[in-house]
Structure 1
């Protein structure tokens, strides 16, 4: 670990205990369920949470740091719960919204999964979370005997990752808009995070949950978190595996094996998957010319882009664009 990397320890089942530690170690101010830290030394950290039922917590964290910080997650594991973490990093202004979209992600894990995440300086980051005891899950979603129901009752540590579909991206946009309103904040945060939970259940019921991994060490999780952000930081440029091998100080085979264990795809396949998903999002949600989308995402030409797009989505981008224009409520 870098000498100047500061550590913040958090307990997801007891946010107020984490608040008190941050207050003591970094001089944050705490007002009930709201923590604020903003100074020249550390930068900005803003955290707020609400407890809706005993141990059922939703919250949001915003940060933009002047020093790198490592947030370590651990719990006392007294009861089973599931955590959902959804959000993006990058600047939230309209000019750089494209970058934050690349970093959108959905993480789900249980109370036995420990991890830590390193956050860089001078980057606006926001995530939303839900912590729900397993015994309350069936109060909010339909739980037949499917993959999710089986997963949440497992004792071993597990972790699930997925990219964001348009419906989840839409939820983030709505949260980003309403979270600024103190009157709407509490209710919207709860309703939207329960909506995320229901979307997860629908995926499980229809297709199962393929991206589940068991018993991943927290050091490996931290490595692939950083590697994922490196890979997706510029979708215009195919990752150079030699550069990544040198940066992370391990052989290509070990780097690929560790990455694939969590994300279920080799590095370049993972990159191409996300690049095409971003292309689809821009085809549907923007008015950019298809040639511009192709160029900005690093395809050699429009024909190459169209062929790759067709191979993944079963239709050419021009067809998707026409459908989105003719039926905007279906796509937006």
Structure 2
């Protein structure tokens, strides 16, 4: 099987889970999906709550080209928060790479396709909820978050992933195999994420970026993001990317900035330094090894860049320098 398209809808994803489990000879019991074969490795934990609210963690490695097509469902208006990350786990089980995709918020009032990464380990969290759920927790108090989501027009918003929300995701995943607490924990952490986003928007700590480019260009930018962050030892070459995508460098940067709020090279450097912080703090690797893994010319280059960004030396958050 070389290509596979999932035709489902974001309002009722469990229907799609059941079909893909059948097509790939996996299992789906209403909470856990397990597929483990040469074509696809897909593991999902998904819970449903009041008013159709759903919270899920998905982990996938595919040797099949997978695409998802959203089939619109009339009279059903849901909001989707998708928090994605990719990369392998290190020996230190507390270390995960969450930074690649950031946070997408969009509504279901639109047709769209999602092309999943091919032969790359990908994981993401999804929180789906209706506006009724939002109103239940709002207690009649209007906020910037409400205004953002109460929009009948199609929208996509993108935000970078900050440490607070990353921490909530870590807590969610740690209890995934605990059948006694996991459903409650998924729900609690999802509410924490919603509350954090709401508070940050209210305090103008997040800059809203409503994506308004052609759908084909949007898909190209999403795939480009995966490409440039796949290997931090290879900074993106704008001339090569321009030729590959058939657009000028100025249009390339303009489209990329429309989605991710930064030009390509700044985005790459920002994510590389964030990844540096994670590896310094959580991995067992020496700074020399981290410098090699992330494409710094030498450990001194890493240390200077780190201190310029964070205001303190990398050695201050770990035991040894080399």
With the shorter chain as reference, the TM-score category is 0.7 to 0.9
Distance verdict in 2 for CA 1:20–1:296, change over 3 Å: closer
Partner of 1:316: 312
Partner of 2:174: 177
Partner of 1:245: 242
The question of whether the paired residues in 2 share the 8 Å contact of 1:77 and 1:111 is answered with no
Alignment of 1:27-46 (within 5 A): 27-40=25-38, 42-46=39-43
- Mark the runs of 5 or more structure 2 residues left unpaired by the alignment: none
Instruction: Note the aligned Cα RMSD (angstroms).
Output: 3.2
TM-score by length of 1: 0.82
Partner of 2:204: 207
Partner of 1:12: 10
Partner of 2:258: 261
Partner of 1:75: 72
The question of whether the paired residues in 2 share the 8 Å contact of 1:61 and 1:126 is answered with yes
Q: Distance in 1 between matches of 2:224 and 2:94?
A: 21
Q: Distance in 1 between matches of 2:300 and 2:46?
A: 48
The question of whether the paired residues in 1 share the 8 Å contact of 2:89 and 2:95 is answered with no
Q: Distance in 1 between matches of 2:133 and 2:93?
A: 39
Q: Distance in 1 between matches of 2:48 and 2:4?
A: 28
Deviations 1:132-161, CA, capped at 9 Å, x for gaps:
112221434688544322101122222222
1:228 pairs with 2:225 = yes
TM-score by length of 2: 0.84
Deviations 1:24-50, CA, capped at 9 Å, x for gaps:
65454443344443434x322333422
Q: Distance in 1 between matches of 2:158 and 2:82?
A: 10
Partner of 1:218: 215
Deviations 1:47-105, CA, capped at 9 Å, x for gaps:
34222102211122232222121122343252432211123223345389978445352
Q: Distance in 1 between matches of 2:90 and 2:287?
A: 24
Distance verdict in 2 for CA 1:283–1:94, change over 3 Å: closer
The question of whether the paired residues in 2 share the 8 Å contact of 1:113 and 1:159 is answered with no
- Quick one: which of 37, 43, 62 aligns to 1:65? 62
Q: Identify the structure with the greater helix proportion.
A: 1
Q: How many residues align?
A: 319
Deviations 1:195-229, CA, capped at 9 Å, x for gaps:
11112112112225424214444323321111111
User: Bigger CA drift: 205-214 or 130-139?
Assistant: 205-214
- Quick one: which of 39, 53, 56 aligns to 2:53? 56
User: Bigger CA drift: 114-123 or 201-210?
Assistant: 114-123
SS of residue in 2 equivalent to 1:195: helix
1:107 pairs with 2:104 = yes
The question of whether the paired residues in 1 share the 8 Å contact of 2:88 and 2:97 is answered with yes
Q: Distance in 1 between matches of 2:242 and 2:92?
A: 32
1:123 pairs with 2:120 = yes
- Mark the runs of 5 or more structure 1 residues left unpaired by the alignment: 327-332
User: Bigger CA drift: 148-157 or 110-119?
Assistant: 110-119
Structure 1 stretches (4+) deviating beyond 6 angstroms? 95-99
